Amino acid sequence: MVNRAKLDRIDRHILADLQADGRMTNVDLAERAGISAPPCLRRVRALEKADVIRGYHASISPEALGYTVAVFALVGLNSQAEADLKAFEDLMESWDTVRECHMLAGEADFLVKIVAEDWDHYQKFLTTRLTSAPNVSHVKSLMVFRTAKHQPGVPIPVE
């Protein structure tokens, strides 16, 4: 289990601001946190080194790149031996259309988020790749019609 980071008010301000805008300059970040730029940069580097900040990403519109379909698939496996779970995770990692893969407790073993150009593209992926993958026993597809909220990250209390 990962140790919980010990963060003070300034660290939480830095994290909340970077989570909202990863392109914020260090000067702006420092000003918002109420400190000068050099210690702000040291704090950011320390948060990166501690793996509290894992990276910086652009939020891309799937539709702008031709991905009009999103599906969450509940995937059951025939075996839950650690080697089989890891093999499935490695396979999901290798497929670009799989954007997320979460191991679950309950009726399914994994929840997989898949993007596709259209329904035909998803159906082809489902029948030629996912359901025919080694150790997969069943797949239940949950089609996304619209997304009311998409907020990456975690809540960060700043006070």
94 to 59, 113, 130: CA distances (angstroms): 21, 14, 12
Would 9-49 and 63-143 be classified into the same CATH topology?
no
In degrees rounded to 5, what are phi and psi of residue 18?
A: -70, -35
Task: Using pLDDT thresholds of 50, 70 and 90, give the confidence band for residue 6.
Answer: confident
Which pLDDT score, from 0 to 100, does residue 2 have? Answer: 53
For the segment 97-122, what is each residue's pLDDT rounded down to a tens digit? 999 999 999 999 999 999 999 999 99
Average pLDDT over residues 122-130: 98
All structural domains of the chain with their residue ranges: 9-49, 63-143
Question: Which architecture does CATH list for 9-49?
Answer: Orthogonal Bundle (1.10)
Q: What does pLDDT average to over the chain? A: 95
In degrees rounded to 5, what are phi and psi of residue 145?
A: -90, -40
Task: Using pLDDT thresholds of 50, 70 and 90, give the confidence band for residue 5.
Answer: confident
CB 139 within 8 A of CB 102: no
110, β-bridge pairs:
75, 103
H helices, E strands: number in the chain: 5, 4
For the segment 12-44, what is each residue's pLDDT rounded down to a tens digit? 999 999 999 999 999 999 999 999 999 999 999
Does 3 have pLDDT greater than 80?
no
Does 159 have pLDDT greater than 80?
no
Could you tell me the pTM of the whole model? 0.86
Nearest in space to 89 (alpha carbons), one of 121, 136, 122, 55: 136
Which pLDDT score, from 0 to 100, does residue 158 have? Answer: 86
The CATH number of domain 63-143, selected from 3.40.50.2300, 3.40.50.150, 3.40.228.10, 3.30.70.920 = 3.30.70.920
Does 1 have pLDDT greater than 70?
no
Average pLDDT over residues 138-147: 96
> Please, which residues have CB within 8 angstroms of residue 137's CB and are 6 or more apart in sequence?
76, 77, 78
